[in-house]
């Protein structure tokens, strides 16, 4: 919350007759906002028409983080001084901080009507954008555009136009900004994003190279990140970006994902954990859950899957199942129609002794993808239900795809034994035992 410079002399430097106002100003200048607020309240108790005391009280409360009190103070200020810009502008700022963009937009609209300053238009646009009214935000900034507006205002307008879907309209603004200040990383990045989304990937990469020749430090890191997102070989660019700016969580996250895809879960954690410390975004938590699940650290997998929210429900179910919480896993899988989720649900039902439900669930899942693991579980369910002939056919199909699956050979042996085909059963069990099945080895020793 900034107090408008042109009012600072009146508020902070004017020698006033009322000692209590001087005291309040002194407390404010020293940063003792709590005592300043009390002193301003005292001034208002004597004279509720003191503009300086209303303004000072609201700003002091805002800086103390006492937002509801600051809101009331500035609301009162707009009632006592409805034609003064400062009350409406500062009320808008408080509403923004409180997460009330609709109320903030209303206050900023009044401020703009009284005094169309750059900061009032920027506040109005920020409020409208937060309220999901992107087109109105862009229109507000377009209306307030004037020759004296700063590069920051013009960049905000370009960003608002992009958010409103008017990408092409933002391009001239961005080129104008870059001609004035070629070191503006945000303008280069937005320009490249727009060009790429317009199907001009090559041009976007060339503009990024132009920007990279001009920009240094953390700004350069962001341009490298944008280039990585457009590149067929992103990892070297991501590593360079992360080395330039270790706070760039997006680069760390993407590097972690690359390690996960390569099957290196431990290497993924090296990047994902710092990314999460910087920004606990759901996608980072989800990647962490996946890495821990692969490493067999099911408690951490469960924790981060939960923090990922709805996208992490399936991983949370997998972790719960691995931790032995089968009923919890079933509940988490309820309503999830994905084949992978249905396959896990079927396996859990089988373990819980609900073979009929498991078979009914797993059969259509198997028919869609012919996954050997699903087929093996389906066959196990058929064995429990004593449907040995069906189980044999299915297990031979599974073993045709995965001939070294010990559990499938063991179950085939059980099915053949139940069908009275002892010789074939023994051969299947010996194959299972040779592949490491302890159950088959024990059965053969009897």
DSSP of 24-88: HHHHHHTT-HHHHHHHHHHHHHH-TT-HHHHHHHHHHHHHTT-HHHHHHHHHHHHHH-TT-HHHH
Q: Can you name the CATH fold of 246-335?
A: 1.25.40
d(CA 58, CA 68): 10
- The predicted structure's pLDDT at residue 369: 86
* DSSP type of residue 279: -
Going from the C-alpha of 100 to that of each of 72, 77, 151, the distances in angstroms are 14, 19, 28
pLDDT at 276 over 70: yes
d(CA 241, CA 250): 10
Give the CATH class of 1-115: mainly alpha
Which token pair is 295? 């490493």
How confident is the model over 21-47, as a mean pLDDT? 95
Question: How much of the chain exceeds pLDDT 70, in percent?
Answer: 96
Structure confidence at residue 6 (pLDDT): 35
Decide if pLDDT at 292 tops 90. Answer: yes
Three-class SS of residue 323?
coil
**CB of 82 within 8 A of CB of 56?**
no
Q: Mean pLDDT over residues 66-91, rounded?
A: 97
pLDDT at 17 (0 to 100): 43
* pLDDT tens profile 375-411: 999 999 999 999 999 999 999 999 999 999 999 999 9
Tokens encoding 71: 């809101």
pLDDT of 4 strictly over 80 = no
DSSP-derived letter for residue 311 is: G
The architecture in CATH of the region 337-446 reads: Alpha Horseshoe (1.25)
pLDDT at 8 over 60: no
Residue 77 is predicted with a pLDDT of: 97
pLDDT tier, 9 (very low <50, low <70, confident <90, very high otherwise): very low
Categorise residue 2: left if φ over 0, alpha if ψ from -120 to 50, beta otherwise: beta
Greater confidence, 16 or 343? 343
Please report which confidence band the pLDDT of residue 446 belongs to, taking 50, 70 and 90 as the band edges: confident
Q: What is the pLDDT of residues 218-266, one digit of tens each?
A: 999 999 999 999 999 999 999 999 999 999 999 999 999 999 999 999 9
Q: Residue 26: is its pLDDT beyond 90? A: yes
At residue 119 the predicted structure's pLDDT band, cuts being 50, 70 and 90, is very high
CB-neighbour burial class of residue 9 (10 A; exposed 0-12, middle 13-18, buried 19+): exposed
pLDDT at 20: 86
- Number of helices and strands in the chain (H, E): 28, 0
Question: How far is Cα 72 from Cα 195, in angstroms, rounded to an integer?
Answer: 46
pLDDT at 97 over 90: yes
User: Which residue is it, tokens 């004017």?
Assistant: 14
The C-alpha angle 70, 72, 74, rounded to 5 degrees, equals 70
Find, among 335, 345, 403, the residue nearest to 378 by Cα: 345
pLDDT at 203: 98
Best CA proximity match to 409, nearest among 422, 420, 400: 400
Helices (H), 115-200: 118-130, 134-144, 151-163, 167-180, 185-197
The 3-class SS string of 329-383 reads HHHHHCCCCCHHHHHHHHHHHHHCCCHHHHHHHHHHHHHHHCCHHHHHHHHHHHH
Give the per-residue pLDDT at 305: 97
Burial status of residue 179 (CB atoms within 10 A of its CB: 0-12, 13-18, 19 or more): exposed
**Predicted pLDDT of residue 5:** 34
Phi and psi (nearest 5°) for 82?
-65, -20
Is the pLDDT at 130 greater than 90? The verdict is yes
Are the C-beta atoms of residues 430 and 415 closer than 8 Å to each other? no
Where does the pLDDT of residue 177 fall: very low under 50, low under 70, confident under 90, or very high at 90 and above? very high
Q: What is the mean pLDDT of residues 177-203?
A: 96
Asked whether 77 and 99 are in contact (CB, 8 A), the reply is no
**What digits encode the pLDDT tens for the residues 161-170?**
999 999 999 9
371: pLDDT confidence band, cut at 50, 70 and 90? very high
DSSP code, position 232: S
pLDDT of residue 289: 97
Position 445 scores a pLDDT of: 82
DSSP state of 387: -
- The model's confidence at residue 18, banded by pLDDT at 50, 70 and 90, is very low
| Residues forming CATH 1.25.40.10 domain(s) in the chain | 1-115, 246-335, 337-446
Please classify residue 57 by burial: count the beta carbons closer than 10 Å to its beta carbon, then call 0-12 exposed, 13-18 middle and 19+ buried.
Answer: buried
């Amino acid at each position: 919350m900034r107090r408008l410079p042109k009012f600072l002399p009146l508020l902070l430097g004017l020698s006033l007759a009322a000692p209590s106002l001087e005291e309040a100003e002194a407390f404010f200048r020293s940063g003792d906002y709590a005592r300043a607020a009390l002193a301003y309240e005292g001034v208002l108790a004597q004279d509720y028409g003191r503009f300086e005391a209303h303004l000072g009280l609201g700003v002091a409360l805002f800086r103390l983080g006492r937002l509801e009190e600051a809101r009331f103070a500035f609301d009162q200020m707009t009632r006592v001084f409805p034609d003064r810009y400062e009350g409406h502008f500062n009320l808008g700022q408080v509403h923004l901080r409180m997460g009330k963009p609709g109320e903030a937009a209303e206050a900023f609209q009044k401020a703009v009507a009284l005094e169309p300053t750059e900061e009032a238009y920027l506040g109005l646009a920020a409020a409208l954008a937060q309220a999901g009214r992107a087109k109105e935000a862009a229109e507000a900034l377009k209306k307030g555009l004037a020759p004296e507006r700063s590069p920051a205002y013009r960049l905000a307008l370009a960003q608002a136009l992009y958010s409103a879907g008017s990408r092409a309209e933002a391009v001239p603004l961005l080129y104008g900004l870059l001609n004035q200040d070629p070191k503006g990383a945000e303008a280069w990045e937005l320009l490249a994003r727009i060009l790429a989304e317009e199907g001009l990937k090559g041009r976007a990469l060339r503009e990024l190279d132009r920007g990279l020749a001009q920009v240094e430090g953390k700004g350069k890191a962001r341009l490298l990140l944008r280039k990585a997102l457009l590149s067929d070989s992103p990892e070297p660019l991501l590593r360079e970006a992360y080395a330039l700016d270790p706070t760039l969580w997006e680069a760390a996250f993407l590097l972690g994902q690359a390690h996960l895809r390569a099957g290196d879960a431990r290497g993924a954690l090296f990047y994902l954990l710092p990314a999460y410390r910087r920004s606990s975004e759901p996608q980072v938590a989800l990647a962490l859950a996946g890495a821990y699940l692969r490493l067999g650290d099911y408690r951490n997998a469960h924790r981060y899957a939960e923090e990922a929210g709805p996208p992490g429900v399936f991983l949370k179910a997998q972790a719960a199942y691995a931790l032995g919480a089968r009923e919890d896993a079933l509940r988490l899988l309820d309503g999830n129609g994905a084949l992978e989720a249905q396959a896990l649900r079927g396996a859990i039902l089988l373990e819980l002794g609900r073979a009929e439900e498991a078979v009914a669930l797993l059969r259509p899942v198997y028919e869609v993808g012919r996954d050997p693991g699903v087929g093996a579980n389906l066959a196990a369910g058929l064995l429990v239900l004593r449907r040995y002939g069906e189980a044999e056919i299915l297990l031979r199909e599974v073993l045709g795809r995965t001939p070294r699956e010990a559990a499938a050979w063991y179950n085939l042996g059980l099915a053949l034994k139940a069908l009275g085909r002892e010789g074939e059963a023994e051969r299947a069990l010996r194959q299972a035992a040779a592949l490491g099945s302890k159950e088959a080895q024990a059965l053969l020793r009897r």
